[in-house]
Each structure stands twice: as C-alpha cells, then as structure tokens.
Chain A
Amino acid sequence: GAGVSQSPRYKVAKRGQDVALRCDPISGHVSLFWYQQALGQGPEFLTYFQNEAQLDKSGLPSDRFFAERPEGSVSTLKIQRTQQEDSAVYLCASSLVGPGSEQYFGPGTRLTVT
C-alpha cells in the first residue's frame, strides 16, 4: 500500500516569505507527527495530531510555525516569515493508533531559506 507522502520535496524560500508543507499520511492512520531534521542531526519532534486534534505542539520552535489537520487526514505545516535558521528537512510520520505505536516516515521536504 501507499506510504506517507510529502510535497513539495524541495522548497527554496527567500527570507521573510511564508511556506506551506503538505503531508499525506498512510490511509487510516489516526496519529500524525511533524519533525525537523537539521543537517547531520537526528529528527526532532515538532507536533502531534490525533485525528484532527493537535494534542502536543511543544516542539514548535516559535509562533511562526503553525500546523493543522482539519479533517483528520492531510496535514499542513506552515512557516511564516521564514528565517535562515528554518532551513532543514521537515519530516512527517503517521501511526495506526496512538503515538506510542510504530511510526512510519515520509520522504521529507528539504526547505532552504536564502
């Protein structure tokens, strides 16, 4: 079956622009997660949805970062007024049930802010 998909795969933004990153989880998966991976580092948790409810956003680095999953399926991570330190790979993952169950990752979106 289809895995987690993300779009776009690459995004170049000028500093100050807004960007929107999309995640399509595995069909039927209740939980959805966003992670940020800086070069040479492991992924770091940003936020978690159970269906349409955002239950944990403790990892979002600033109020410029906003995520939504309005119908409990597709999710969008929005970054307003991008800055150079936002350059990273943004990974989406989904799991069948709660957050402690096995997570499956998408290919990521590489964001470069110039």
Chain B
Amino acid sequence: GIQVEQSPPDLILQEGANSTLRCNFSDSVNNLQWFHQNPWGQLINLFYIPSGTKQNGRLSATTVATERYSLLYISSSQTTDSGVYFCAVYTDKLIFGTGTRLQVFP
C-alpha cells in the first residue's frame, strides 16, 4: 500500500521562529489534507490541498502532486501551535502519515 512519511519526526522551536514540515508519499493520490492534533487529541483541519498553494494566516501549504510531496509552512510560531501535525492522503481511503511532533517554547 501507499507509504506516507513525514519529516522531521520531532521539532522544537522558540516562539517566533519559522518552520517547514514535509510529507512524502509513495504513489499518486486524489487529495491531501493537513491536520493539527492539539494536546487534547482533537484533529483540527488546516488545509485540503490536492495540489497548488494555499494560505491561512500564519500557515501555508504547497502540494506538488507530480513529485509526490507536500509542505506545510508555519511562520512566527506560537506556543498554541504545539502538538502533532499529520498529513493524510486519500486513495480509496484516508491514509495518515507518521506525524511531526512540534513543541514551541516561550
């Protein structure tokens, strides 16, 4: 089946720093979502982005479907950005990546 790898697995930042999270997938996909799982376990939708670039406030995402990767950019990070970031790709079901655990310190 399709493999979805995320990097880095762990990221520690000071408040105000910028970061880039990467999601690589091993086969063609029909769509891709980015989620933030907060410390209470809730999965929060960030982007639905099968291709192209989208921005929402301090966050933006780019998916290059032909090269089988997606990037999530977080600018001016805040402590509330802490948690686990998942990408998930859809083929005939939604397959989640390995996750990036982000900790932002004041």
Q: Is B42 an interface residue (CB 8 A)?
A: yes
Taken together as a complex, chains A and B put the C-alpha atoms of A33 and B97 apart, in Å, by 18
Partner of A43, one of B30, B48, B96: B96
How distant is B103 from chain A, measured CB to nearest CB, in Å? Answer: 15
Q: Contact mask B42-81 → A, CB, 8 Å, 1/0?
A: 1101001000000000000000000000000000000000
B94 x A108 contact (CB < 8 A): no
Interface size class of A (residues with CB under 8 A): 20 to 34
Q: Is B86 an interface residue (CB 8 A)?
A: yes
Central interface residue in B31, B41, B48, by most chain A CB within 10 Å: B41
Q: Is A18 an interface residue (CB 8 A)?
A: no
Q: Is A65 an interface residue (CB 8 A)?
A: no
Q: Contact mask B8-45 → A, CB, 8 Å, 1/0?
A: 00000000000000000000001101010000111101
Q: Contact mask B68-106 → A, CB, 8 Å, 1/0?
A: 000000000000000000101010111111110000000
A residues 21-59 in Cβ contact with B at 8 Å: 33, 35, 42-45, 48, 56, 58-59
Chain B residue at minimal CB-CB distance from A102: B48
Residues in B whose Cβ lies below 8 Å from that of A107: 40-42
Q: For chain B, what secondary structure do more than half of its interface residues adopt (helix, strand, loop), or is it mixed?
A: strand
Residues in A whose Cβ lies below 8 Å from that of B45: 102, 104-105
Q: Is A77 an interface residue (CB 8 A)?
A: no
Q: Is A91 an interface residue (CB 8 A)?
A: yes
Residues of B within 8 A of A (CB): 30-31, 33, 35, 40-43, 45, 48, 86, 88, 90, 92-99
Task: Known A-B contacts: A45-B94, A105-B42. Give 18 more (CB < 8 A).
Answer: A42-B86, A42-B97, A42-B98, A43-B43, A45-B95, A56-B92, A56-B93, A59-B93, A89-B41, A91-B43, A93-B94, A99-B92, A100-B31, A100-B90, A102-B48, A104-B45, A107-B42, A110-B41
Closest 5 CB pairs of A and B: A42-B96, A105-B43, A102-B48, A45-B93, A100-B30
Could you write out 23 A-B pairs with CB less than 8 Å apart? A42-B86, A42-B88, A42-B96, A42-B98, A43-B43, A43-B86, A45-B93, A45-B94, A56-B92, A56-B93, A89-B41, A99-B90, A99-B92, A99-B93, A100-B31, A102-B33, A103-B33, A103-B94, A105-B43, A107-B42, A108-B41, A108-B42, A110-B41
